[in-house]
Amino acid sequence: MDKIIFKFFNSFKGRKLNSHDLKLAIKKAMNLGATTEDLLLIINLIKDTKNKKYKLNKKCFFILTTAIVYVITPIDAVSDIIPVAGWVDDATLIGYVARSYADVLREYKEFCKNNTTKSNIDLSETK
């Protein structure tokens, strides 16, 4: 299954995330229903990894970063111009990635709990 994920995500490989991208991803997360929490957790994980607060292997970093890039890219499998359908494909992808990397996300949650790390996401940014 990882080969399929890597092949799919290779089309987004060259894109780097910046703080503007992460703010956009937070805004988009609010449209993703049940997967909102997963995307917000992934965003925090990527932020902490980039800020060297958390260590994540390169493969996971690549997959999780690319999932964020996919969500913020307006043209993907189903364009976000089509409001509900565009969000459904993003939510489906985030749900799949979150399930596939559930152990990584669980370890990160535990890390945050043990280190009493304040959430990196300020939900007021979404307004």
CB of 84 closer than 8 Å to CB of 98: no
90-114, pLDDT tens digit by residue? 888 888 999 999 999 999 999 998 8
Summarize pLDDT for 22-79 with one digit per residue, the tens: 777 777 777 667 788 898 999 999 999 999 999 999 989 988 988 888 888 765 545 5
Q: Tally the domains of the chain.
A: 1
Residue range(s) defining the domain that contains residue 99: 2-126
Its pTM stands at: 0.68
Contacts of 112 (CB under 8 A, 6+ apart): 44, 119
Whole-angstrom distance, CA of residue 48 vs CA of residue 39? 14
| pLDDT value at 19 more than 80 | no
